[in-house]
A and B are shown apart, each in its own frame.
Chain A
Amino acid sequence: METITLLADGFATSLSPLNILIVVLGVTAGIFIGAMPGLGSVNGVALVLPLTFIVPPASAIILLAAIYYGAMYGGAISSILLGIPGASTSVATTFDGRPMAQQGRAGFALVAAAVASFVGGTISVLLFTAFAAPLAKLALAFGPAEEFALVLLAFTTFVGLSGDDPLKAVVMVCLGLVLTTVGLDMISGQPRLIFGDLPGFYSGVSFLVLAIGVYGVGEILHTVENSRTAPTVTNPKLTFRDVWTGCREMVRYWRSISIGSFLGFFVGMLPAAGATPASLMAYGIARTTSKDPDSFGKGNVEGVAAPETANNAASTGSLLPMLTLGIPGSPTTALLLGGMVMWGLMPGPMLFIEQRDFVWGLISSLYTANVAALLINIALIPLFVWALRMPFTVLCSLVLVLCIVGGYAPSERMHDVWLIVGFGVAGYLLRKANYPLAPLVLALVLGPLMERSFRQTMIAEQGNVLAFFERPLSATFMVIALVLLLLPALKYLRRASGKRTQPAE
C-alpha cells in the first residue's frame, strides 16, 4: 500500500510539464540513437550526459533514463528495416524481423516490436516498483564489508557468466580499477599515479572521459571499419490496419511475451548479462516452445516480439540494482550511476530515504516513458526511415564533434579531450582483440566504492582478511563470487582433459 502512495507522489513529479517534455525529448532522441546502426543506449547516454547540465539534476537523470528506454525501442527499427542491429541488444530481432521486411511485412513487424517492447517495459516496471523498496530496505543493513563483497560479486559475474574470455575480463576490471586510483589518495590525501606530475591527473580520470572515449570515439572507429557498403533501407508501408492487427495479434503471443518480460527483468539485473543475452534467450525459448519452430528465422512475428520484450525488460531490470544497491546492472546504468554521483545523488539504499521524491519521480517516469515511446515510435516511423538514410559520414563527423565538445565542457580542460582520443583508440584496439569493454566502465564507476569499503573494513578489522567471511551477508556474496571466479578454470580443465582423451584426427 505504501508503495502505491509513494508512486502516486512520484507521478506528481514526473507529470510536471518540464518532466513530460523531457521524457518526450529523451525518448525521441533515444529511439533515434537506437535506430542508428552502431549507436546504442550506452553511446547515447555517454554522448548526451555532458549536455544535461542544462536541466536540474533530477530531470537530467529522467532524461538519460528516457534515452536509455527509447534506444531499446529504436534498436528494432534498424534490425527490421536494414537487417543490421541498431545495437547489440537487438541482434535477435534481425532473425525474424529482416525476413518479415523482405516479405513486405515491415510495417507489421515494426508495430509488433513496439507493442512487445511496451508490454515488456510495463511488466518490468511493475516488477521494479514491487522489488525496489524491499531491496533498498535490505541494503540498509550493508556495512563496508558487504559493499566490498557485492562489488566483487558484480565483477566476478563478468569472469564466470559472460561469454567473454575470462582472462581478458580480469585485465579489463583491473585496468578500470587502477584508473580510478589516479589522483589524490582518499585517505592520506597524497597524489598517486599522476604520471610524471601532470597536473591534469590530480583530479583523477573521470568516468565520463573514459565513456566518451570508448563509446564515442571508439565506437565510431569500430563502425568506420565495419561499414563497407551502404545497406538498403526497406520502406515500410504502415496503415492503421497494420497498427490494429499488430496490437490484436500480440495477444496470441502472450506466453512468449510474458516469458520474455520476466526473463529479461531478472537477467538484466546481472552486470555481466543484460539485454543482449536476455533477448537471445527469450528468442530461443520462444522457438523451442513454439508449435511451429521451423517457421522461426523465416519471418515469424513471435521471433520479433519475444526478444523485443526481453531487451526492454532487461533495461528496467538493470536499473534495479543500480538504484537500490548502487551496483549498476549494465554499462548504460553504470553511466547513469556516474552521472548521479556527479550531481550529488548517491545511489543506494539511503537514496530511498533522503531523496524519496527523486527516486519515485524517476520510477514513475519509467511508466510515462513507456507510453511516450510506444506512441512516438509508431507515429514517427517515417521520420526514422528518413534518418536511416542519412549518410554515415554525416553522423560520424557530428558524433566526433560532440565527443570533443562534450568531453571539454564538464572540466573545461584540453587534457580530458586528449584522454578521450587516447581512450578511443585504445578502446577500439582492445575491442578488436575481444577484450570486453563493459567491465572496464563498470570498474571505473565502482572503483572508488570498492577501494573505500576494502580499506574501511581492513582498518576496522585490523587487517583480518577473513572478516569478509564472518558476516552472513558478505560471506554469501564472497562465496558466490569465488564460485564464479573458479567456474572458467573448471571449464578450462574439463576442455583440456577432453582434448587429451580424444585421439587426434
Chain B
Amino acid sequence: MLVAERTIAGAVIVMSIYFMWHATALPIGWVEGQGPGGGAFPFWLSVLMALAAGAIMARSFTGLISQTHERFFDGLMLRPVLLVIVSLTITVALIPIVGAYIAIPLFLVWYLRIYGRHSLRLTAILAISTPLFLFFFFEVTLKILLPKGVTEPLFFPLYAIFF
C-alpha cells in the first residue's frame, strides 16, 4: 500500500506542477484595475494541491500511519479491470472510424458472449436492441446524431424516412 500511496502522491505533485506551468500563461498576481489575474486561481490552488500531496508523501515516510501488508492490486482481480479498460478504449477509438452502430454491438458481443459467456440468444437480443434503442432515442427523438464513420452512407435512407 505504501508504494501505491507514494506513487499516487507523486503523480499528483507532477500534475500540480504541470497545471502551475500552464496557469502562468495568464498573470498570476494582481492586475491593476482587474483584481487577481486570470491565472491566479488555478495557479495558487495547484500550489496548495502540491503541498497537500507533498504532505501525504512525507507522512508515508514517518511511520505515523499504520503499515498494512495489503497489496494495492490483487493479481486475480486486476485482469477483469484491465479487460474492461482495454475493451472500452478500443470501443471509443473505433467509434469515429466504423461508427457507433458497429462499435457498440461489437463491444456487447465481445463482453457478453466471449468474456461473460452468456447464451447466444441473450447476446443477440442485447446487441440488436441496444443500437435500435439508441437510434430511436438519440437520433429520432432528440435529433442528436451519433458518429457513424464509414457507415454514414448506409444511414441516408433512414434519415430520409425520419427527418
Q: Which A residues fall within an 8 A CB radius of B?
A: 51, 53-54, 165, 167-168, 170-171, 174-175, 177-178, 181, 185, 187-188, 190, 192-195, 217, 220-221, 224-226, 228, 391, 393-394, 396-398, 400-401, 404-405, 408-409, 412, 414, 417-418, 421, 424-425, 428-430, 432-433, 435, 451, 454-455, 458-459, 463, 496, 499
Residue of B19, B100, B104, B138 near A193 (CB, 8 A) is B19
Closest to B40 in A: A455
Contacts of B77 in A (CB 8 A): 224-226, 228
Known A-B contacts: A391-B116, A409-B142, A433-B4. Give 7 more (CB < 8 A): A167-B59, A178-B42, A190-B38, A221-B85, A224-B84, A404-B100, A417-B92
Q: In the bound complex, do residue B126 and residue A398 qualify as a contact, i.e. CB atoms below 8 Å apart?
A: yes
Question: In the complex the two chains form, what is the Cα distance from A433 to B56 in whole Å?
Answer: 12
6 A–B contacts from the bound complex (CB under 8 Å): A171-B53, A192-B22, A217-B88, A397-B112, A401-B108, A417-B95
Residues of chain A within 8 A of B46, CB atoms compared? 174, 178
> Bound complex: CA of A187 vs CA of B33, how far in Å?
12
Q: How far is the CA of A397 from the CA of B26 in the complex (A)?
A: 43
Interface flag for B158 (CB, 8 Å): no
CB–CB B34/A187 < 8 A: yes
Q: Is B134 an interface residue (CB 8 A)?
A: yes
- Docked complex Cα distance between A175 and B42 (Å): 9
Checking B38, B56, B126, B142 against A53 with a beta-carbon cut-off of 8 angstroms, the contacting residue is B142
Residues of B within 8 A of A393 (CB): 111-112, 115-116, 118
Q: Which residues 87-144 of B have a CB within 8 angstroms of A? A: 88-89, 91-92, 95-96, 100, 104, 107-108, 111-112, 115-116, 118, 122, 126, 130, 134, 137-138, 141-142, 144
B35 pairs with A170, CB closer than 8 A: no
CB-CB nearest in chain A for B51: A170
B19 near A405: Cβ-Cβ < 8 Å: no
CB distance from A409 to the nearest CB of B (A): 5
Say whether B116 contacts A405, CB under 8 Å. no
Output the least CB separation between A26 and chain B (Å).
Answer: 17
Partner of B112, one of A177, A394, A414: A394
Is B154's CB within 8 Å of the partner chain A? no
Contact between chains at B4 and A421 (CB < 8 Å)? no
Chain A CB within 8 A of B45 CB = yes
> How far, in Å, is B115 (CB) from chain A's closest CB?
7
CB pair B142 A429 closer than 8 Å? no
Cβ–Cβ contact A421 & B49, under 8 A: no
A433-B5, A496-B64 in contact; A167/B112 too (CB < 8 A)?
no
Q: Find chain B residues with CB under 8 A from A53 CB.
A: 142, 144
Known: A174-B52, A225-B77, A398-B126. A421 touches B89 (CB 8 A): yes
| Shortest Cβ distance from B33 into A: residue | A459
**B contact residues around A418 at 8 Å (CB):** 92
Please name the residue on chain B nearest to A418 by beta carbon: B92
Instruction: Note all chain B residues with C-beta closer than 8 A to A170.
Output: 48-49, 52
Closest to A189 in B: B38
Report the separation of the CA atoms of residues A90 and B42 in the bound assembly, to the nearest whole angstrom.
37
Q: Are A54 and B52 within 8 A (Cβ)?
A: no
A181, B84: Cβ atoms closer than 8 Å = no
Contact A433 B72 (CB under 8 A): yes
CA distance A459 to B33 in the complex (A): 8
Query: Sorted from nearest, which 6 A-B pairs have the closest CB atoms?
Result: A393-B116, A185-B38, A174-B49, A459-B35, A181-B42, A170-B52
Q: A396 vs B115: C-alpha distance in the bound complex, in angstroms?
A: 12
Considering the chains assembled together, what is the distance between the CA atoms of A463 and B80 in angstroms?
53
Residues of chain B with a CB closer than 8 A to A217's CB: 88
Give complex CA distance A122, B109 in Å.
45
| B146: Cβ under 8 A from any A Cβ | yes
B114–chain A nearest beta-carbon distance, Å: 11
CA of A493 to CA of B3, assembled, Å:
25
B55 within 8 A of A: yes
